[in-house]
A = this chain, B = another copy of it.
Amino acid sequence: MHVQRVKRLPREVRERQILDAAVQVFSRHGYHNASMDEVSEVAGVSKPMIYAYLGSKEDLFGACIRREATRLLEAVTGGIRVELAPDMQLWHGLGAFFRFVGEHRESWQVLHRQAISQGGPFSDEVLAMRGRAIALVDALLVRTATKRGLDEQATRATEALAAALVGSAESLADWWLDHPDITGRTLASWLMNLVWMGFGDLVEGSVWTPTND
């Protein structure tokens, strides 16, 4: 006949539509201000479908978090060539990170802003992912430091430095949202220069100390 305005779709497709809508709505309004009604409206589906397929609002949010976090981590790890030198690994990792954020602003917002600020299991999950990213960077730093002969004093700080580096990348990603004319590649190279060169100095014993207190 004429076009069926209401198409019956297989569960798998609907779930994806719902998750896409949920990410969009959560990223716009945050977890609490997002209403299931709006999600259902954006998804083009009635509310009970969401409950049938994805469970409660908490479950839905958790599903969003897991999917987006996994995507992000896969994008980053997938961008790394392990056979290269540490600095090139970091370079490619940063490049992949900025590319992902540029192409999935909403995913990034949900992960970075909304998920972490909810206490409990959500932030735990995201923070665990973040921890894995920091560990990745930390391993890189440790490998570089030990390869160049440092073991004791300088390596004590690597984990903290890795955390600082990850934080600076995140912050730079936010700054990027207001300055879209810059390429992700440029960002990555700025950060490499700021942070990798500083780390190199540190490893080589060229340290900064306050002149007088």
Which positions in A face B, CB cutoff 8 Å?
28-33, 85, 87-88, 91, 113-114, 116-119, 157, 159-161, 163-172, 174-175, 179, 182, 187, 189-202, 206-211
A209 to B182 alpha-carbon distance, docked (Å): 17
Specify how many copies of this chain sit in the oligomer.
2
Residues of B within 8 A of A161 (CB): 190, 194
Are A202 and B191 in contact (CB-based, < 8 A)? no
Are B187 and A160 in contact (CB-based, < 8 A)? yes
Question: What secondary structure prevails in chain A residues at the interface with B?
Answer: helix
Q: Known: A91-B210, A168-B168. Contact between A194 and B198, CB under 8 A?
A: yes
Are A119 and B30 in contact (CB-based, < 8 A)? yes
Are A168 and B179 in contact (CB-based, < 8 A)? no
Q: List 19 A-B contacts (CB under 8 A).
A: A29-B119, A31-B32, A85-B211, A88-B211, A160-B172, A160-B187, A160-B190, A163-B172, A164-B190, A164-B195, A165-B194, A167-B169, A168-B168, A170-B171, A193-B201, A193-B202, A195-B195, A197-B198, A197-B207
